[in-house]
């Protein structure tokens, strides 16, 4: 297993993985444009030189980051890949000086295992809502907000 920063050639696989979950209503869809604009935020998980998962750490403010688009293909879930990916993103966040990380998710129980606590969405900076305007569920967001202090 290898966890590495994404490169442009990974965009199609990232989109495929994320949008497969989005088609089931488990996460929000992502476009090529969004991936290319944020490729530096993305990490990928490889097994036998094949991408089996991804996730992104987006810097949203001077001390605040967001974990986005975290997904591991179904056949590789429950094997610790997501845990290792999240740990990599925590390490990157600490190195950047990020003190808090939040996530918007449909599976809060997963993130609570890593010390995330549920919070009101109103506690998040207004800047993050710029992404929400393009969401198919806007303005009726049904994701749950969680925060972790590093």
Cα–Cα dist 89/58, whole Å: 10
pLDDT digits (tens, 9 = 90+) for 18-66: 999 999 988 889 999 999 999 999 999 999 999 999 999 999 988 999 9
How far are the Cα atoms of 33, 88, 105, 146 from residue 109, in angstroms, in the given order? Answer: 30, 20, 10, 10
pLDDT digits (tens, 9 = 90+) for 78-137: 999 999 999 999 999 999 999 999 999 989 999 999 999 999 888 887 656 666 666 666
Residue 84 host element (H or E): helix 81-96
Structural domain spans, the chain: 2-149
Topology of domain 2-149 in CATH is Aminopeptidase (3.40.630)
Q: Whole-prediction pTM value?
A: 0.90
């Amino acid at each position: 297993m290898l966890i590495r920063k994404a490169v442009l050639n990974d965009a199609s696989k990232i989109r495929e993985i994320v949008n497969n979950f989005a088609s089931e209503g488990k996460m929000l869809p992502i476009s090529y444009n969004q991936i290319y604009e944020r490729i530096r935020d993305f990490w990928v998980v490889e097994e036998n030189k094949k991408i089996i998962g991804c996730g992104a750490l987006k810097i949203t403010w001077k001390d605040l980051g967001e974990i986005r688009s975290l997904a591991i293909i179904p056949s590789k879930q429950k094997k610790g890949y997501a845990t290792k990916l999240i740990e990599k993103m925590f390490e990157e966040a600490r190195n950047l000086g990020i003190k808090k990380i939040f996530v918007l998710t449909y599976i809060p129980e997963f993130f609570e295992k890593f010390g995330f606590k549920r919070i009101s969405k109103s506690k998040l900076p207004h800047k993050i809502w710029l992404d929400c305007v393009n969401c198919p569920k806007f303005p009726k967001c049904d994701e749950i907000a969680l925060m972790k202090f590093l």
